[in-house]
Amino acid sequence: MKKIGILLLTSFVIIAVTGCCSKDEVLRVTAPDKSTEAVLIETNCGANVSFGYKVYVTPRGASTWRGKEVANLYGAVRNNGAYGVNLRWLSADSLSIEYLKAQDERLEKPTVNVSGRDILISLKSGIEDQTAPEGGMLWNLQKRKT
């Protein structure tokens, strides 16, 4: 009986953690040569945790499943009130992921080949975006639409 209780509790935790998180595309930035795009996904697992951010590099116009995950950040902010990160192409083969600070940051792939081009990926903390609005990135996108 004890094993069944542990199994049920484990199943509940897995469903709660994986099933309740939203994953929304909040930013897509095209490289200068127009062949690739950097895509930012914001994850939201509820009020008790911070936002997560995943960065993908894809062929232009492709969904993230055709791209490569290059970075993963948790609790990233652009200023003291604005969550998120900014994506900036330094050239056709160099992408900078910029933010003020993050609770956790992981560069999954420092170099990735997409559309036949090797692209250098960098994480750059300490960059404050004073123009970024307060709140999460998806919330601000939705607010602009209304």
Is residue 9 a part of any domain in this protein? no
Could you tell me the two tokens for 47?
């009020």
Is residue 2 a part of any domain in this protein? no
- List the domain range (segments joined by +) for residue 129: 21-145
Chain segment 41-51, per-residue pLDDT in tens: 999 988 788 99
Is residue 130 a part of any domain in this protein? yes
Is residue 39 a part of any domain in this protein? yes
What is the phi/psi pair of residue 26, to 5°? -120, -10
Separate counts of helices (H) and strands (E) for the chain: 2, 9
Is residue 54 a part of any domain in this protein? yes
The answer to whether the CB of 27 falls within 8 A of the CB of 40 is yes
Is residue 5 a part of any domain in this protein? no
Is residue 8 a part of any domain in this protein? no
pLDDT in the model for residue 14: 41
Would the pTM count as exceeding 0.75? yes
Is residue 15 a part of any domain in this protein? no
CA angle 115, 121, 127 (to 5 degrees): 135
Chain segment 24-38, per-residue pLDDT in tens: 999 999 999 999 999
Could you tell me the two tokens for 12?
């509940």
Domain tally, the chain: 1
